[in-house]
Structure 1
Amino acid sequence: MSELFFKEIKRLENDKTSGAMEIAEKVLLILKEEIKKNFTFWDNYSINEKIEQLLPIININKNMIILRNLVLEFLSLLENGVELEKIPSMQLEKLNNSKKILAQNISKRIFEEKTIITFSRASTLLESLRVGKKLYEHPLEVIIFESSPKKEGKTLAEELLKIGHRVRYSFDAAMKIMFEKYKPTLAIIGADSIFPQGEVVNKTGSYILAKLAKEYDIPFIVGATMKKVMLKEINVLGKITSSESSELWNKDYVPNLEVVDVHFEKIPRALLNGFISEKGFSKKPIGEKYSLSENVIKKVYS
């Protein structure tokens, strides 16, 4: 891999605002340029060597299953005889088509409501609200929370205001109050990862949203591409760690202070009413399949 490739991948590691679909699109553009410039080297790699070369993509964010599945899709196309230099473009085209279909499917559902509630910033939901505003020619009322500490919710609120939606914005701890006062009729989030049996990993705070949706008896659904569904169950959360400094405590180190900054959590399947993907609504998650050996899949998911 070239120095430029690693530089661009490193930049994506530091991107804490873009959603998984946005990161995936950027990855494919970087990969397209890398293969174009270093085609001879790439063409001579074995399948195992190609996996090794693609591992930095997975390491951008190991929570993002879409990155592992992009690698598997790349290898599957290659194994099926697609010319190497054409693969990233084919993947980009498929990803963009998925994005359009997904946005239409989600917007069709959420525009049945007057007020929806969400947490963090799902680029898929943003695109769905953009598409829906044009299709149905009216705005929605969207309840959004800050999403501490990175404030992705504030970013989403600003984006939706520009589109023309009505936004009610508050801090994370006010979630129950916002349910009581504004009575949303649908809760929806994106996902960083979806387990085969339906548990969802998303930004910390999503679990409380799901619990409150259950308490107030409104549907809680996940809108996400099929590429976010795991082929093999793995631990994407890792261990809860603490640090001397973080975005929660952006001051000098203080003795006896332990900062615990937990960015992601798991939402149980029992709290979900269903999923919206490129295939439409389903009670269980629907993932993609790739014509690869179990050993290759295992290596990418290790």
Structure 2
Amino acid sequence: MKPVDQYSSLTVAIQALRDDRTLGASELARMGLRIAAETARQYRARSTEELITYLNLAADQLAHTRPSMAPVWNLLQQWRNSLGTLAKHDLEFARATAITAAHSLEELSIHASRAAARNAARMIEPNSTIITHSLSSTVVEVFRQLKGRGIRVIVSESRPLYEGRNLATLLSGMKIPVTLITDAQIGIFCREAAVALTGADCILEDGAVVNKAGTYLLALASRDQRVPFYVCYESFKQRLPDMESFTLESMDPEELGTPKPSAISVKNVYFDITPRTLVDGWITEQGAKVIP
């Protein structure tokens, strides 16, 4: 963020966070915290009160960028809450503390994700086949920890932007055998798996899972074929009562690459909700809750 263009730079950064289609919820939340830290560093306030007022506004805007992703809201709200203790301090101390708080929350999120991945890796037997959908940084860490244990991974391509292809490339680079399938083949290949494992963008109050559209179909196929369906995530993804305006985000229909005659309505809903009744295990940095 350039000091000479602080207002427009924040707007551009917020728009980039809103428009991103490649990063998962945890990574976007950390991106939001980095934007918050940079805003605190660059904003030319004349007093502590002015700085806190502006940072509260920035935090509110950042928190509302991705209404399907709980960690974006949760982590930015935690950062915003930390600003309330700074009012009695001088300007530069308040600035430095706000920056440190954002970086500390980012590190806390990273450590939580790694711990959740370790807990998930302990639950998967050597030489297992795992089926997954979409691209979760936490699930990638699970696979990284399972490297060398003989696992094989089945990856759906995850339309419309095919992040499953990126995951398949990552796994190939780790020397983990991987099979890439279309989303429509999930029901065919699910029976080959010992476990289905996905990340999450949000966990609702009742344990239902918000994740990339297609996760619900994987959970249905898993239940029908008696394959346990686990979700691995950091606890920051739990939707809290104060999270406002939860919605399932829809994106540009043109991403589907379909013709657009006036008589055709094209939908591109990015997320779906898997009911808790289809989930066999919730795995976080705090441990695992598994349905017998």
TM range (shorter): 0.7 to 0.9
Is 1:275 the counterpart of 2:282? The answer is: yes
Distance 1:58 1:29, change over 3 A: same
Computed over aligned residues only, the root mean square deviation of the Cα atoms, in angstroms, reads 2.6
Is 1:208 the counterpart of 2:222? The answer is: no
Distance 1:235 1:26 in 2: 21
Query: Quick one: which of 148, 165, 168 aligns to 1:157?
Result: 168
Whether the 8 Å CA contact 2:32–2:76 is kept in 1: the answer is no
Question: What amino acid sits opposite 2:123 in the alignment?
Answer: R
Deviates more, 1:9-18 or 1:163-172: 9-18
Which secondary structure state, in structure 1, belongs to the residue aligned with residue 140 of structure 2? helix
Q: What's the offset of the Cα at 1:56?
A: 2.5
Unaligned runs of 5+ in 1: 285-302
Alignment TM-score, normalising by the size of structure 2 = 0.85
Aligned residues: 276
Q: Counterpart in 2 of 1:287?
A: none
Whether the 8 Å CA contact 1:116–1:186 is kept in 2: the answer is yes
Q: For residues 255-294 of structure 1, what are the structure 2 equivalents within 5 Å? A: 255-283=262-290
Distance 1:194 1:126 in 2: 19
Q: Counterpart in 1 of 2:227?
A: 218
Query: Quick one: which of 113, 119, 144 aligns to 1:130?
Result: 144
Q: Deviations over 1:113-164 (max 9, x none)?
A: 510111111111012211332xxx3342001111111111111111111111
Q: What's the offset of the Cα at 1:57?
A: 1.3
Q: What's the offset of the Cα at 1:269?
A: 0.6
Is 1:56 the counterpart of 2:61? The answer is: yes
Query: Quick one: which of 183, 188, 204 aligns to 1:177?
Result: 188
Q: What's the offset of the Cα at 1:254?
A: 1.7
Q: What's the offset of the Cα at 1:210?
A: 0.5
Q: Counterpart in 2 of 1:296?
A: none
Q: Deviations over 1:226-279 (max 9, x none)?
A: 00001117663358x797x5211355x422121122211111010011211010
Whether the 8 Å CA contact 2:232–2:284 is kept in 1: the answer is yes
Distance 2:195 2:171 in 1: 17
Query: Quick one: which of 38, 41, 49 aligns to 1:44?
Result: 49
Unaligned runs of 5+ in 2: 1-5, 87-93
Distance 1:58 1:72, change over 3 A: closer
Q: Deviations over 1:22-77 (max 9, x none)?
A: 11222222221221122636831497764432133123321111011012211333
Query: Quick one: which of 224, 243, 255 aligns to 1:247?
Result: 255
Percent identical across equivalent pairs? Answer: 27
Alignment TM-score, normalising by the size of structure 1 = 0.82
Question: What amino acid sits opposite 2:162 in the alignment?
Answer: K
